[in-house]
Amino acid sequence: MIPRADSISLAFTMLGGVALLFLVAPLLGMVLQSSIPEIKVAMYDQEVRGSIVLSLWTAMAATFISGIGAVPLAWLLARKDFPGKRVVSAVIDLPLMIPHSAAGIALLTILSRHGLLGRLAHDAGIRLVGGPAGIMAAMAFVSLPFLINSSRTGFEAVDARLEKTAMNLGASPVSVFFTVTLPLAWRAVVSGIVLMFGRGMSEFGAVIMVAYHPITTPVLIYERFGAYGLKWARPVAVVFVGVCLVVFVILRVIADKRR
């Protein structure tokens, strides 16, 4: 007879295994269905390599620039009560719920030459629609909730009494944030950064509406699939997934060392 504790572990292991198989099987099948020569051709394709570089640096830039405002906003939501707080929280989660094509349309409304930001950027000689800045805006719009919500959870987990003690000892609020609050919430903030970066790098719907060119890898995969079929799109997807895996492993290793 299996002990009760072991029986629930066995049941959860089986259920978890099914969920893990659902995640792994499509990726493994994609890799196994692609031949080594096909993957090599994709790896040395200048268009593929250029799209991967573009996806990486625009996602990094979008995460860094947006994080300057996202982390303070997360702290405010975790520590302060103010009128309309629930509305703000709902607005932050909205990009997760609306279709990303609709997100692209919403961005076009303000980023196009006839929109407020687009007009100002055009006068300053900056191209938003059809440029890297537009790609970064689309990536940030759909991925910011991950950074804000993760950071907010981390800040909420920090004991407010530690902050009050530090201030009673003479530390300024800014000093308390950088020496007490942020180090204690760092794990959640880093997780949010990784999630935002990954979600931005893989974004397709909003990006294709704002900037079809220059072409990012998710858009290139779609283009190859539409023009040439699965045989030509699959190796590009395999290469991109491999790059994503390497990048995320590196980010996790750096984060673990920092903690």
Cα of 7 vs its chain's centroid, Å: 37
Whether 141 is covered by a domain: the verdict is: yes
Cβ pair 93, 149 in contact under 8 A: yes
For residues 194 and 201, give the distance between their C-alpha atoms in angstroms, rounded to a whole number. Answer: 11
pTM of this prediction exceeds 0.95: no
Whether 120 is covered by a domain: the verdict is: yes
Q: Give the CATH number, domain containing residue 152.
A: 1.10.3720.10
Instruction: State residue 129 phi and psi, 5-degree precision.
Output: -70, 130
Helices (H), 44-157: 46-79, 85-97, 100-111, 116-123, 132-157
Enter the tokens of residue 41: 């051709």
Domain count of the fold of the chain:
1
Residue type, 182: L
Alpha-carbon distance values, 83 to 77, 89, 92, 126, 204 (Å): 11, 12, 16, 36, 35
Containing structural domain, residue 197? 65-214
Whether 191 is covered by a domain: the verdict is: yes
Cβ pair 51, 224 in contact under 8 A: no
Query: For each of the chain's 259 residues, which pLDDT tens digit applies?
Result: 555 557 788 888 999 999 999 989 988 989 989 889 999 999 999 999 999 999 999 999 999 999 999 999 999 999 999 899 999 999 999 998 999 889 999 999 888 888 778 888 877 777 888 889 999 999 999 999 999 999 999 999 999 899 889 998 888 889 999 999 999 999 899 999 999 999 999 999 999 999 888 999 999 999 999 999 989 999 999 999 999 989 888 887 777 665 5
